[in-house]
Amino acid sequence: MELCLTYDMRAPDFGAPRTQLFQCALDQVSWADDLGFDVVGLGEHHCADDGYNPSPLVLASAMAARSKQIKLRTSVLLAPLYDLPKLAEDAAVTQIISDGRLLLGVGAGYRPVEFETFGRQLSDRWAAMGQTCAFLKRAWRGEPFEWQGRTLTISPRPEPFAPPILLGGSSPAAARRAAHIADGWFPPLDARLWPPYREECIALGGSDPGEYPQQGPIFLWVTHEPDRAWKMVMPHVLHQLRCYSEWTSEAFGKPAGPYAGNMTQETVMQSGTYQVLTPAQALALAAELGSHSVLYLNPLLAGIDPGESWRMLKLFEQEVLPYLPT
């Protein structure tokens, strides 16, 4: 079972102060690294009222300095918004600082305001994805290369090796595209998108990426007092859902994905997407998922109090972690 910490670094007005959240996230990654967690996932968005983390590589580098083993995944970096030489350099430095632990997840983005802010065209985003993957692979060879009429040399090279590029997306076409231009596929917790990727990899003569791992809920909170915990986390959960609902409405004309429903306390608790469980219930969930699976913890979701967050993690460490499937 893969254990994944995720951080959005949202700091809404009713939540914990931003400086406390960032410091706590660094401390928690160090804690998770000592306990053998596998990966930390860091998203990217811009122009968010709550300060959603806009700089995943900066935060990944800080976390790399506080850890030794845990992998650092951008989930996902909004590639069309970047200057490509600068992205190649910054990712290389993060890879060097982490001693090869960066997983560069890249996505196309969807919010019009982000593209407007950076002077980019939303309609060009998928072409930009292909250019990004091609540019990074050539740039990281450390040799001069021709790009759009210029001869470029990018330095430093990532060491000890180039980070794998994982393409994110939410459609079968994006999954198939990943087999052609990236080193892996990062679907948004949707098992239906894995077969197109796997089939395309095999058709191209590549290695079989295998079965899609079973996915745990996007938010898991472990407690001996579920009623109290639900009351504490619910404002943060609803804040996240409402933000994504507004963003997808702006982009697509209506809420999309898990943010499309009537979001109330009752529907959230019944959805299974967000779960508050006792240690025994968490272990039952883990047993159901099995060893080929991913379990996510989002301990500071939308500004959750660091003290509450640490109490949950310590309980997870004591009463869940030792008994998880290996």
Judge whether 213 lies within some domain: yes
Task: Tell whether 74 is covered by a domain.
Answer: yes
> What is the structure's pLDDT at 48?
97
In tens, the pLDDT along 140-153 reads 999 999 999 999 99
Structure token digits, residue 56: 């995943």
3 state DSSP class of 165: strand
Contact 313, 297 (CB under 8 A): yes
pLDDT at 106: 97
Task: Please count the structural domains in the chain.
Answer: 1
> Distances in Å between the alpha carbon of 144 and those of 89, 93, 153, 156, 194?
14, 19, 5, 12, 36
Q: Residue 260's pLDDT is what?
A: 63
Q: Classify residue 231: in a domain, yes or no.
A: no
Domain region containing 175 = 2-219+281-323
Low-confidence ranges of the chain (pLDDT < 70): 258-262
Give the separation between CA 104 and CA 16, rounded to whole angstroms.
29
Report if residue 187 sits inside a domain.
Answer: yes
Amino acid found at 15: G
Give the chain's end-to-end CA distance (angstroms, integer).
6
Residue 160 lies in a domain: yes
CATH classification at residue 10: 3.20.20.30
Cis before 39 (ω within 30): no
State residue 259's pLDDT score. Answer: 64
Residue 269, in any domain of the structure: no
Rounded to the nearest 5 degrees, what angle is found at the Cα of 211, between the Cα atoms of 209 and 217?
115
pLDDT given at position 326: 80
The answer to whether residue 29 is domain-embedded is yes
Specify the pLDDT at position 258: 67
Each residue of 66-111: pLDDT tens digit?
A: 999 999 999 999 999 999 999 999 999 999 999 999 999 999 999 9
Q: Indicate whether 246 belongs to any domain.
A: no
Q: And the tokens for 205?
A: 């003569």
